[in-house]
Structure 1
């Protein structure tokens, strides 16, 4: 029973890291597909704002730039979407090229295609998650070996 207690948390962490890896790959595939196969339209930045996260003081503060864009699809629908981490050089009122998939125009992007950067970022994220998963698996193996070698000597 005690072994299960020591293994439950790392196993839940492995599941969480695995799900994060799935989301990372899904996002990269969607963005890459939008850049490669998507349609283009002229969009306009309606709003630009920033959000901050982190506590300040001894911890770092992260500032995220957000843009709200609006564009008209090829079939005449007006779509508005928000995108994080866009270029700080795009200001309210600026015109941008928007790329979107016809079946999901609300998932459009105004980011210029950067397949290499996307692959590098995704690869680094997956490497980090892989190391975290390997650490958790190693912890579970060590705990299992400790309990197996103790052969019931532990309470």
Structure 2
């Protein structure tokens, strides 16, 4: 039973660290596409929503768009992006930013470095607090064998 109170926080810390890596990687991909990438026109080929939550928790809905474009070397790329504008519907033409070596990591979001930095910072702060809480629980449990 004692090991359980060490293993579970360690698993939560590992999960939060993985989430931090994913957030930082996507933030860097989007920032690189905006600053060093190529722009082209893409067509929205699909729009859909996903929901999560329910029961005793709040339901949240996320809007997704699927875009398709042709790279400078003639390859047709299709990618899915969440969190786009609700005014974009199937058939709309949008500008996408992508790096020539990684066109599948394109973004149709308009360049907004400050907004990207703020959202990444908030996500990292949340994950840091989450990790700190898990460490606190481990320390509290191991200090005298009882929870605070």
Task: Give me the TM-score of the superposition, normalised by structure 2.
Answer: 0.90
Correspondence for 2:84 among 83, 86, 100: 86
TM-fit CA distance, 1:136: 1.1
Cα distance in 2 between the residues matched to 1:64 and 1:3: 39
The residue aligned with 2:123 is 125
TM-fit CA distance, 1:59: 2.7
- RMSD of the alignment, in Å? 1.4
| 1:57-106 Cα deviation digits (max 9, x unpaired) | x4322111111111111111111111111111111111110111111111
| 1:20-52 Cα deviation digits (max 9, x unpaired) | 111111111111111111111111111222222
The residue aligned with 1:151 is none
Which 5+ residue runs of structure 1 have no aligned equivalent?
Answer: 148-155
Cα distance in 2 between the residues matched to 1:5 and 1:77: 51
1:13 aligns with 2:22: no
The residue aligned with 1:152 is none
Once the two structures are superposed, the pairs formed by residues 104-143 of structure 1 within 5 Å of their partners are 104-143=102-141
Once the two structures are superposed, the pairs formed by residues 90-101 of structure 1 within 5 Å of their partners are 90-101=88-99
Cα distance in 2 between the residues matched to 1:114 and 1:49: 24
Which 5+ residue runs of structure 2 have no aligned equivalent?
Answer: none
User: 1:50 and 1:5, CA in 2 relative to 1: closer, same or farther beyond 3 A?
Assistant: closer
Greater share of residues in strand: 2
Aligned residue pairs, count: 145
